[in-house]
Amino acid sequence: VPNGAVNPRGEQAQASNTYDYVIVGGGVTGLIVANRLTEDSKKSALVIEAGGADDNFNQRIPYGATLALNTSLLWADYVSDPEPELANKTWNVRVAEVLGGGSIVNGMMYDRGSAADYDAWEQLGNNGWGWAGMYPYFKKGTKFIPPPQKTAKEFNITWDPKAYGNGPLKLGISDFQYPDIKDYFAAFKGAGAHMALDGNNGEAYGASWYANTMNPETGERSQARNSYYEPVSSRPNLHVLLKTVATEVIFNGTGKSLTARGVTVTDKLSNTSRTVYAKKELVLAAGALNTVKLLQLSGVGPKSTLEAAGIVVKLAHDGVGANFQDHPYTFLGFNISNMSTPNPLSLTTDPAFNASAWAQYTANHTGPLTQARGNTLAMIPLPEVAPQSYKALAQQIDKMSPDAYLPSIYTGSKKLLAGVKAQRKALSTIFKSDKAAVVEYPFSASGSMILVGLEKPLSRGYVSINPANPQGPPKILYNALTNPIDKSVMAACVRYIRSVWARPELKKFELVETSPGAQYVSDEDIIEKMVELGSIWPTLAHPSGTCAMLPEDLGGCVSDKLLFYGVEKLSIVDASILPIIPSQHLQSTMYAVGEKAADIIKSRG
Ligand SMILES: Cc1cc2nc3c(=O)[nH]c(=O)nc-3n(C[C@H](O)[C@H](O)[C@H](O)COP(=O)(O)OP(=O)(O)OC[C@H]3O[C@@H](n4cnc5c(N)ncnc54)[C@H](O)[C@@H]3O)c2cc1C
């Protein structure tokens, strides 16, 4: 446990009230920015993290990523509002509260979006945030350690060495793979999917091998803390306060001439509060839900929301909490026969295999227990998913009234609606592209369950403080599948994977659909049955977009220089800034955003 590293610094930090940079949130982006900004020994930074430092074995061993999540490392009692299109059910919202943030509790998938995902951001007016501007930062932060040649050869594992650098975050693919994975690759290939050399080089469409945030040299999880904080924790100019919550941004001035001066923080153990000041910049890295909460608590957000909570409005802005996105998903279930052994079930069903896996892990830190949730993904573009209807679906987007199917915060907000219009144009282009995915299938060596993740939803949700308890858990409305196009795309994605599972390459497994059942074929029947079964979820734990980086007249909160419009010395660097959610699991993007953000902030001098 890095307490030795963290606590003394924390105590030291108690003595100081002013730093060049104060960073709220010691998660993925917060720790990267803290590391890079303190490379200059003359610049000081303080990181404020609500959670503690955790070194639980289940977080470290990759296999632990497949087990039930340790909820003590999450923000307690975050529950979504009833979801109108999902039978008004509510969901537990998973957001990390621990040094290292999401990287400590996540599923360890490391997959980047395709070039088109980031190019869409640039087309919305964010200069330098297209693939050409992001790729150097993806590389800078990572080091890929290849699997043994024998494994690579046997399973045709390919990678693009040019897609990685010599960075702090170690990535790897387990030396152990289950034999049937080859048949699933063959089926996607047979279905016409692109077989990328490495989906992480901008070609995240088709079926590909992907790394985990796993260090093959130790057989353990790589995360933001052991990659970006521990190696530099002895820097005297970097302090971290653990178990400390930021509760209010302190401003100078009023209206359009606000300057962020610092932030009030509460030590959770002693329940005492004080204010820490930032000479150069206050950097928000609290994640897509908690950054919104902090800003609204500080009087920055939609006027109606702030007034309902009795908070004095410092800066009215409809965009704080709007544009909320995540990846909704569903599962299909199949009966399966004739699986090879070992297979993904063997660790739980075959005691001898389990024992040998543990013996291997203990001796060498290799083997089946270095697999997290898998190394294979199929990311499929809409023209392949729905060759007959993709053009019509794109046209539906083009024709949709800009104010249709949106949360009430959008009503009458010209800027937010202009942003919706611009985003829909970008999404319509992606729907027609054969180089950008609309769906993910994280396939494994067993087709008995397949996740279908909607990567480019049109629906938008809303996050806000709870007027009845502003300091408590925020109100979180995913609003999943409220835009009917999302339902059509999800249903098409269900039909597509059925067609792959029915291919000759998988015939020997005699896959028979049990859920929702092959008799549900039309869009309506598929979605209705899945809602009834409760098998559609509104979130893959990828909350984003809630303080979008967009031009101000498109409802953006921060510019492409990450500064909040109308406020001096206040920037946001976390997943709130993503204008459109990329087609990937978010962490790789957040690692790159952290690296890029640090350079942008440094360049201000
Ligand atoms: C359960 C789960 C599974 C996931 N699986 C994957 C996966 O397999 N692959 C993938 O690519 N991505 C995955 N993700 C997503 C990924 O981890 C996140 O997108 C990423 O961590 C976001 O980075 P961030 O810097 O925006 O926020 P975070 O990493 O969440 O960091 C925010 C930090 O700020 C702290 N904080 C918040 N509010 C305050 C406050 N007021 N005061 C002080 N501190 C505060 C939090 O405690 C937290 O440590 C998963 C996430 C979760 C939760």
Bridge partners (DSSP) listed for residue 272: 267
Question: Cβ(38)–Cβ(239) under 8 Å?
Answer: no
CA distance 312 to 136: 42
CA of 451 to the centre of ligand 1 (A): 22
CA distance 195 to 496: 17
Give the pocket of ligand 1 (CB within 6 Å). Answer: 24-30, 48-51, 69, 94-98, 101-103, 105-109, 245-246, 285-287, 290, 294, 541-542, 574-575, 585-588, 590
Predicted pLDDT at 152: 98
- The Cβ of residue 387 has, within 10 Å, a number of other Cβ atoms equal to 12
CA of 456 to the centre of ligand 1 (A): 20
Q: Show the low-confidence residues of the chain (pLDDT under 50).
A: 1-9, 11-12
DSSP state of 106: S
Per-residue pLDDT of 175-222, as tens digits, reads: 999 999 999 999 999 999 999 999 999 999 999 999 999 999 999 999
Predicted pLDDT at 16: 85
Ligand 1 atom with minimal separation from the 293 CA? 41
Report the residue among 29, 91, 379, 586 best suited for mutation to probe ligand 1: largest number of ligand atoms under 8 A from its CB: 586
CA distance 20 to 43: 6
- The Cβ of residue 150 has, within 10 Å, a number of other Cβ atoms equal to 9
Helix axes 414-431, 115-123, angle to 10 degrees: 150
Closest CA to 506 of 51, 205, 130, 182: 182
Per-residue pLDDT of 241-266, as tens digits, reads: 999 999 999 999 877 789 999 999 99
Report the residue among 95, 587, 589, 593 best suited for mutation to probe ligand 1: largest number of ligand atoms under 8 A from its CB: 587
SS3 522: coil
Ligand 1 atom with minimal separation from the 286 CA? 34
Predicted pLDDT at 96: 98
Bridge partners (DSSP) listed for residue 92: 79
Beta-sheet strand order (sheet of 142-145): 109-110, 211-212, 169-172, 142-145
**Angle at the Cα of 80 (from 76 to 82), degrees rounded to 5?**
145
Closest CA to 456 of 489, 419, 417: 489
Ligand 1 atom with minimal separation from the 69 CA? 1
Question: Cβ(439)–Cβ(454) under 8 Å?
Answer: yes
CA of 330 to the centre of ligand 1 (A): 22
- How far, CA to CA in Å, does 478 sit from each of 82, 85, 372? 9, 10, 27
> What are the phi and psi torsion angles at 110 (to 5°)?
-120, 95
pLDDT mean across residues, the chain: 96
Question: Cβ(580)–Cβ(426) under 8 Å?
Answer: yes
CA distance 48 to 592: 21
CA distance 559 to 551: 6
560, 564, 566, 567: CA torsion to nearest 10? -130
Residues near 321 by Cβ (< 8 Å), separated by ≥ 6?
Answer: 292, 296, 301, 302, 305, 409, 462, 463, 464, 546, 547
CA of 433 to the centre of ligand 1 (A): 30
3-state secondary structure 395-435: HHHHHCCCCCCCCHHHCCCHHHHHHHHHHHHHHHHHHCCCC
ω into 342 cis (within 30 of 0): yes
Closest CA to 261 of 271, 245, 244, 248: 248
CA distance 99 to 243: 9
CA of 252 to the centre of ligand 1 (A): 30
Percent of the chain exceeding pLDDT 90 equals 96
Amino acid letter, residue 503 = R
Predicted pLDDT at 254: 75
> What are the phi and psi torsion angles at 487 (to 5°)?
-65, -45
